[in-house]
Amino acid sequence: MRDFLTSITARAGVLKGILPLNRAAAARDALAGVQLASMDIPQVLGYARIAGMPAVTGLYTVFLPLIAFAFFGASRHLVVAADSATATIFASRLSTMAPASSAEYAALAATVALLTGVLLFIARIFKLGFLADFLSRTVLVGFLAGVGVQVGISMLGDMSGVPGRASRSIDQLMLVVRETAQIHWPTLAISLLVVGTTLAFKRIRPRLPVPLIAVVAGIAASDLYHFSAHGIAVLGPVAGGLPPLRMPQVTWQQVLDLLPVAASCFVMIVAQSAAASRVFAERYHESVDTNADLLGIAVANAAAAFSGAFVVNGSPTQTAMGDIAGTRSQFAQLVFAAVAVAVLLFFSRFLQYLPHCILASIVFTIAIGLINLRTLFAIRRESPGEFALAVFTAAAVVLIGVEHGILVAVALSLLRHVRHSYRPHTMILVPGDNGVWVPEPAVPGMQTRPGLIVYRFGADLFYANDHFFVDDARRLIDQAPSKVRCFVIDASAITDIDYSAARSVGELCATLKHAGIEVFFARVNQYLRSDMDRHGITPIIDASCIFNTLHEALRAAGVVSPTGT
């Protein structure tokens, strides 16, 4: 019966992240789901704070959206709920359109979730899961570090009791510095206690739900000692019960204004969720279906939009927390959702006593966790250029905002790739020890042997690098120690040539042949040969000068090929 159910659901494309599931696994995941809820519920309350939404909406994100992904997603480990990165992205724009926590703001946030879900659904239809590959891990580390700095700065006011709020991170930091005389010292003391305790236990006892303990203790102390009467700000009345289902009411102009915000959330969701699902699938030797996960997150965001919540994401941080708790399937997330329902129905009234400073302190520790110094130092050690990109991305997020920062991150990732293709490594085969030819960087004045240059170009040829290829070849030939008779192009790294590059390469070959220099192409694969035939390069150099191996090309050039080529 269990195998039959698995077969039916597999054909329907649902419950991939749950089935197969036996009784022992269900019991294990149920316990893990409760453990995850104890660690994560304070976090999602904090994410609601980052998003500028009422605290209860954080609980909404771990109800219907969590259930939606469990049914339609494929990853057994991905936790789809509120997330600091996406919350920061849309909050930075919505704060300029409506007052935080207002009904209009909530409608705008729900619209962003709905638009993000539509974009994710379109990506699923066209199988665009590969888009995750265009945001490099290096730039993503820098982006999340920038988000961590920005979120941390935004929490300083609540943590210190300083009134006022600025929209830009630098302005918020300067506000806190200018108003140090208004620091409420009991509020700051509570904040430092929560931050210090949370960070300490994260190192020595990571599975201990310190944020939950801080929330419960803070609520109890606030109620017992009347914190609000002593100047310590609290949440106030929190709506209980299950979320109302409704369509967000916004104008078409607002929809158009929110599309760029949804696009930024879309990029971050695709990058983060794909990275998280791949990491844990590889850890447990499971398959990855990025496109199915896109569908699951699309439905989860639609559920968030209709239930008064905000954008949800496949969070690497919360997925890692789930792994620590012992989750091995989405059944644990269903149990997590059941715990959230219990809190909404029976315990939400106690949240009114929760001090703002405790929630802000929990968010501050989340922000610190986004700054992965160990990875940044590893990047600096291995690749200083990529480290500079990561730092630049982090600075862009802090200085110009998260919404534009994600676009900078994508642009930098693509530019880095284009830069390597635009200026690839080029080599010349030269005599080495024991008669073996070895590749050396192509520097004018070098040649393989008198009268011969074997030139290797390290990338596909396209419109942006064809002039580099032509100029480099001409410099090598013009500055060779002896007159060049044969120019052999090792095309082992070239799999494609576009129209513009074909024109440049064809003109170079024609010029060299006119000057009495024979041109040979070696290690030409079938795809490159097809391009050469289609673009008319083959007739220029003659088909007899194109070879599958370097040995054949050298023999045609009248050279006995040594070993090592």
Please provide the DSSP assignment of 409-471 as one string. Answer: HHHHHHHHHHHHHHS--EEEEEE-GGG-EEEEE--TT--SBTTEEEEEE-S-B-TTTHHHHHH
What does the pLDDT average to over 127-143?
76
Q: What pLDDT sits at residue 15?
A: 84
Work out whether the CA dihedral 309, 310, 314, 318 comes out positive or negative. Answer: negative
Q: How many CB atoms lie within 10 A of CB 103?
A: 10
394-409 pLDDT per residue, tens: 898 888 876 677 677 7
Cβ pair 293, 73 in contact under 8 A: yes
- Confidence band, pLDDT 50/70/90 cuts, at residue 1: very low
d(CA 58, CA 235): 13
Q: Judging by DSSP bridges, how do beta strands 313-314 and 426-431 pair with one another?
A: unpaired
What single DSSP character describes residue 96?
T
Treating both helix axes as pointing N-terminal to C-terminal, what angle do 185-204 and 210-225 enclose, rounded to 10 degrees?
A: 150
What does the pLDDT average to over 245-252?
93
Domains of the chain: 2-417 (no CATH), 423-556 (3.30.750.24)
What does the pLDDT average to over 341-346?
93
What does the pLDDT average to over 339-349?
92
Question: In this predicted structure, which of 66-75, 274-283, 363-372, 505-514 has the lowest mean pLDDT?
Answer: 274-283
More confident residue, 167 or 381: 381
More confident residue, 435 or 260: 260
Query: Which run of H or E residues covers position 472?
Result: helix 466-478
What does the pLDDT average to over 205-225?
89
What does the pLDDT average to over 283-297?
88
More confident residue, 524 or 281: 524
d(CA 14, CA 446): 62
Task: Using a pLDDT cut of 90, give the percent of the chain over it.
Answer: 53
404-459 pLDDT per residue, tens: 776 777 777 777 777 777 889 999 988 777 767 789 999 999 999 999 999 999 99
Question: In this predicted structure, which of 69-78, 95-104, 555-564 has the lowest mean pLDDT?
Answer: 555-564
Cβ pair 554, 488 in contact under 8 A: yes
d(CA 160, CA 264): 31
Q: Where are the alpha helices (DSSP H) in 95-168?
A: 103-125, 137-154, 156-160
What does the pLDDT average to over 125-132?
78
Q: Judging by DSSP bridges, how do beta strands 452-457 and 486-490 pair with one another?
A: parallel
More confident residue, 357 or 208: 357
